[in-house]
Amino acid sequence: MIDADTLAALLAMPAVQRAALGLFLGAVGLPLVGVVIVGLDIMPVRFAMMHVALLGIAVGLLTGADPTLCALVACACAGAAVSPLADRPGGLSGGMGLLMSLAMAAALLLIAVSGTNAASAFALLWGSILSVRTVDLVILGCLAVLVPGLLVRFRRQLALLLHDRELALVSGVRVRWFTLVLLVIVAVAVAGAIRLTGALLVDALTILPALAARRLGSSLTSIAAWAVVCGLVSTAVGFALALLLDLPPGPVLVLTAGLLAVAAHLLPERTHRAWHRTPHSSDPSS
């Protein structure tokens, strides 16, 4: 464990400050993306996007363009391209298996053809929180504003869509449009989180806070609020522990968020006596 002086010196470093800012922005937007992933039951989509992110990185390495931006564009395009599959009876699962295989094969082929070191492409998948750049902060900042804004503005429609796609459709919700937007956001979020925890550990900031919040909240609004709280708490505690114990931040963040999710599920289920009241029993005159 490091001493207080070393901790203070670490916190004064611009790289650490940028990492903390990146984590804060990520902890606001990414858990809400996790709520969408859990709500739409599209876990395979994020796996597929991790593979697509690798393809984007490979394209970046081949062309000399920024690999993270290439991953972002590739994921956004893939998210938009797969959204029509959500209307199919089989949903997105089958298509995601195909996308994963094709994206990984294409990425490996590009890396081989370009003659670049495959390890450098895979290194980006593991992330490096202390190498967060301005462009990464901009992406995370956009997500931190856009995703909560979307949830607040369209909470009625999204609540219905996440609950039951058909009911949303017949209630006049623009299901295809919302699905397209949500899938693009999920894809961009996966790519955007690469620098923080790496694509392979993106669950720490998306799914795990959402899983904890799913247990604690009873509606979209309350689940979203709990997800942000859980995200902020787990990233703050995880990052502080990583600095104090001089451990790699990515795995510590995942373990912290995971423990929080487990703790939330160990809490006894809430009982709501008020739910069992009849209109008469809640009437003081009766």
The only residue of 156, 245, 248, 263 in contact with other proteins, by rule CB under 8 A: 156
CB of 94 to other proteins, least distance (A): 16
CB of 25 to other proteins, least distance (A): 26
Binding-residue pattern over the window 200 to 239 for other proteins, x denoting contact by CB under 8 A? -----------------xxxx--x----------------
Q: How is residue 264 written in tokens?
A: 């939330």
Structure letter (DSSP) for residue 66: -
- State yes or no: residue 272 binds other proteins (CB under 8 A): yes
Q: How far apart, in whole angstroms, are the C-alpha atoms of residue 224 and residue 120?
A: 36
Only one residue has tokens 């062309």, namely 63
- Residues that bind other proteins (rule: CB under 8 A) add up to a total of 32
**Closest to 54 measured CA to CA, from 129, 97, 109:** 109
Stretch that binds other proteins, among 65-73, 113-121, 126-134, 275-283 (CB under 8 A): 275-283
- For residues 69 and 169, which CB has a smaller minimum distance to other proteins in the complex? 169
Amino acid at 76: A
Mutual angle of helices 207-216 and 249-266, in 10-degree steps: 20
- For residues 134 and 278, which CB has a smaller minimum distance to other proteins in the complex? 278
- State yes or no: residue 80 binds other proteins (CB under 8 A): no
Pairs from 165-173 (Cβ < 8 Å, separation ≥ 24): 165/86
The only residue of 134, 278, 285, 286 in contact with other proteins, by rule CB under 8 A: 278
- State yes or no: residue 11 binds other proteins (CB under 8 A): no
**Closest to 179 measured CA to CA, from 201, 200, 157:** 157
The only residue of 17, 101, 131, 171 in contact with other proteins, by rule CB under 8 A: 171
**Closest to 264 measured CA to CA, from 207, 186, 212:** 212
Name the residues that contact other proteins, by CB under 8 A.
Answer: 38-39, 41, 156-157, 159-160, 162-164, 166-174, 176, 217-220, 223, 272, 274-275, 277-279, 282
